[in-house]
Amino acid sequence: MAFSDLGLSERVLEAVTQSGYTEPTPIQAQAIPEVLAKRDVIGIAQTGTGKTASFVLPMLTRLESGRARARMPRTLIVEPTRELAAQVEQNFDKYGVNHKLTVALLIGGVSFDEQEKKLDRGADVLIATPGRLLDHFGRGKLLLTGVEILVIDEADRMLDMGFIPDIERICSLVPARRQTLFFSATMAPEISRLTEQFLRDPVRIETSRPASAAENVKQWVVATSATPKDKRAVLRDQIRGAEGLSNAIVFCNRKRDVATLHNSLKRHGFTAGALHGDMDQHQRMAMLESFRSGETPILVASDVAARGLDIPKVSHVFNYDLPVNADDYVHRIGRTGRAGRSGVAIALCTPADKQALDRIEKLIGTSIEKQNADAFSGSDDSEQDSAPRRSRRSRKGKSSDRQPAKEEPRQEAKKPDHASVKSADVEEGKQSGEKPAPRKNRKNEPERELAATAFGNEDFVPAFMLRQTRFARS
């Protein structure tokens, strides 16, 4: 099948040909005709299969007729991150070279004034992150009543982890008679149920099993200790020993770990950069450009770089930390092996990460190769040995981990050596040959005076505790 068979306009086909593409990917071949037919679409495909072009190309064809009015965009694309929003803008510039369309990008870290000027001129395409979009709407600088097509990209992330209220509000601001498109690499069943309130009789397109990894990405896991110093040393060895490494992304779960690992790699002679959410927007875009150009071959990043970023020639992905959410693993390794190329994904796994690894393997439906299998077989024992210590520290498990006093009496649990007891009564009992009377259960013992009570020393009371204290007269 060729792009000319999908119903795209001549101007769009010319731009696609200039870009060097001849055949559509499976998600493009199935989604583009449905979008042109004005159907609601749920598109699920692996990362790197051209989901962005699946809605950009038909939107360009649809937008050839009509004109936008001031502050009333004709189409709206909502993205989870600034980088992904900027990348979609680049796609419109690339495929819309033969169109005279106004594209407005509303993201954080950029001046409001410049964005408002574009909105005042009228935007045919509005690409935005939820926070900045609602900020402009709250300022009265934006009306969404003219939106004809609403696109929710990376839908599982937009609907998950706190984005639901923003998406619900945005959907309430756009016209009810609109076309809604959802695209993502993963779509959990509970997330699919949430789409029922946003879409009307949608066409569900799945070109691969949800949350599946690309077959051209070779994956393996390396066991390592949880000590940060040892873990960083293992990562350096993996980078040095990686075959065919041209550039790589190293993912960390926390922003502070990104900074620490970035500095460590630089100290050991690696040319590396850092990317995380606390960086200024201009710094983030400059770092991405440096990575794309090859000036910075190693990029240490948080999950801000895990979704949708199209950097075609990434040869390796390293998971310094296994993600807590198994879906994020699919998106992370999707940064390599894009557009039919081969890639390598290497993950470091500490004993504490064993459950996260099990969840990932269950999600992708396959077992990941273990480079040092012996270390993984021993990790279970170490986890079991450390489990009681964790349970005693846990507030929730404190009461349940304790054994009742009746089941484990004190005298059975401890067998003190009475030969070391220096109490006068005990010594006298030994000299006379009399056996000391058995201790009574503490619960049934009568209350004794403070001076005669022994705290943690059996029956031995230090002499200084029996000394009378003199108080100064006031």
Strand 203-206 and strand 343-349: the pairing is unpaired
User: Which CATH code for domain 3-206?
Assistant: 3.40.50.300
As a whole number of Å, the CA-based R_g of the chain is 32
Dihedral through CA 288, CA 292, CA 298, CA 303, nearest 10? Answer: 40
Q: How confident is the model at residue 223 (pLDDT cuts 50, 70, 90)?
A: very high
The alpha carbon dihedral of 110, 111, 112, 117 has a sign of negative
Tell me: the pLDDT tens digits for 409-447?
Answer: 444 444 444 444 344 444 444 444 444 545 544 444 444
Phi and psi, residue 22, nearest 5° = -120, -35
The alpha carbon dihedral of 364, 369, 370, 376 has a sign of positive
Q: How confident is the model at residue 375 (pLDDT cuts 50, 70, 90)?
A: low
**Separation of alpha carbons 220 and 380, rounded Å:** 19
pLDDT number for residue 162 = 67
Average pLDDT over residues 1-15: 93
pLDDT number for residue 458 = 55
* 3-state per-residue secondary structure call for 128-149: ECHHHHHHHHHCCCCCCCCCCE
Residues listed for the chain:
474
Domain boundaries along the sequence of the chain: 3-206, 217-371, 417-465
Other CB atoms within a 10 A radius of the CB of residue 13 amount to: 17
pLDDT number for residue 412 = 45
**Which amino acid makes up residue 450?**
L
Terminal Cα-to-Cα distance of the chain (whole angstroms)? 103
**Separation of alpha carbons 188 and 210, rounded Å:** 8
Q: Is the pLDDT of residue 402 over 70?
A: no
**Separation of alpha carbons 235 and 249, rounded Å:** 12
Q: Is the pLDDT of residue 257 over 80?
A: yes
Q: Which residue has the higher pLDDT, 241 or 160?
A: 241
234-248, 367-381, 408-422: lowest mean pLDDT where?
A: 408-422
**Separation of alpha carbons 131 and 54, rounded Å:** 25
Q: Is the pLDDT of residue 196 over 50?
A: yes
Helix (H, G, I), strand (E, B) or coil at 395: coil
Average pLDDT over residues 364-384: 67
**Which amino acid makes up residue 318?**
F
* Same fold flag, 3-206 and 217-371: yes
Q: Is the pLDDT of residue 206 over 90?
A: no
Q: What is the average pLDDT score of the chain?
A: 80
User: Which CATH code for domain 217-371?
Assistant: 3.40.50.300
**Separation of alpha carbons 34 and 397, rounded Å:** 54
Q: How many CA atoms lie within 13 A of 269 on its CB side?
A: 4
Helix (H, G, I), strand (E, B) or coil at 99: coil
